[in-house]
Amino acid sequence: MKIILAAPRGFCAGVNMAVKSLELALEYFGPPIYVYHEIVHNQYVVKTFQSRGAVFVEELTDIPEDSTVLFSAHGVSPAIRSLAKERRLNAIDATCPLVTKVHLEAIKFAKEHYTIILIGHEGHDEVIGTMGEAPEAIILVETIADVDQLQFDRDRKLAYLTQTTLSVDDANKIINRLKERFPWIIGPAKEDICYATQNRQEAVRILGSQADVVVVLGSQNSSNSQRLRELAEEKGKRAILIDGPTELNADFFLLADTVLITAGASAPEEVVQSTVAWLQKNFDATVDEIAIQKEDVYFPLPRALRTLGSAPS
């Protein structure tokens, strides 16, 4: 068997920043450190931090007053920030700057009296946070069918934004439909789908043609990881989304000479390498890493951590 190891893969700059933030918070403040929602959508990462004293909560009211809370990479609404202040929580904001960009765009458009069409997945943490910035001005759509249900007069100011982890192709189909129905709609100056999401999708698009099977490392609740699996399947490939090699079955690789391995933006490199090792052990696989793009993006730590004397910037 031959393994094609896609690059770039795994952690993006936003996830790196969020994970490092939680590591430093545990180091400086000691456990328990409370985290509002999962730090990133990856079960391996979540369970690792739980073993070190991180406590993941869905409600701020579950956190004792005067405790330390870290906001996840997906961002939170203004209401959550206000509640954290009311409960005297020491809040560390690890929101990905690319998500913050979308929040700021929503605020700007709302102040200018636009109705904002947000393209995203209902219930996703990022979408909840973005909609919380201007709930009276934002309408969520998930599909072209949703767009076709919209009715606006020509004098209604319209703008669109997108969740950062969507499929580029799927988002563009919805954007194009919005522009067909409402030619006066405007969008952000720079697209919202993050560089890492696009690069990982492009790697699957380019390298998937060389493989019989595609293995995506990531969790089921990871939007960008699901998109990688779906993209591979759209290209006619057998594809699987797993958290790690314990979920693999040798039967899945019957008649597979070449396997493409990639990882969503919240999946750590450890699970990639352990999956490679499993295939090497069971199929005497060789590995060829192929990079389709270079990534050198870096996001600084949250201010609350940078101001701690010895914390690196």
pLDDT, tens digit only, all 313 positions of the chain: 999 999 999 999 999 999 999 999 999 999 999 999 999 999 999 999 999 999 999 999 999 999 999 999 999 999 999 999 999 999 999 999 999 999 999 999 999 999 999 999 999 999 999 999 999 999 999 999 999 999 999 999 999 999 999 988 899 999 999 999 999 999 998 889 999 999 999 999 999 999 999 999 999 999 999 999 999 999 999 999 999 999 999 999 999 999 999 999 999 999 999 999 999 999 999 999 999 999 999 999 998 898 774 544 4
Q: Which residues contact 257 (CB under 8 A, 6 or more apart)?
A: 1, 2, 212
Residue 270 belongs to some domain of the structure? yes
- Give the structural domain span for 137: 98-181
Q: Residues 138, 168: one domain? A: yes
- Identify the active-site residue in 58, 59, 112, 126: 126
Residue 58 belongs to some domain of the structure? yes
Residue 106 belongs to some domain of the structure? yes
Q: Residues 88, 147: one domain? A: no
**How many domains does the chain fold into?**
3
Q: Residues 6, 17: one domain? A: no
Active site residue 126: yes
Residue 186 belongs to some domain of the structure? no
Closest to 263 in 3D by CA, of 201, 307, 312: 201
Task: Quote the pTM value.
Answer: 0.90
Residue 190 belongs to some domain of the structure? no
Q: Residues 204, 283: one domain? A: yes
Q: How far is CA 255 from CA 250, 252, 267, in A?
A: 11, 9, 27
Closest to 199 in 3D by CA, of 12, 49, 2, 5: 12
Q: Residues 110, 91: one domain? A: no
Q: Residues 109, 163: one domain? A: yes
The residue type found at 8 is: P
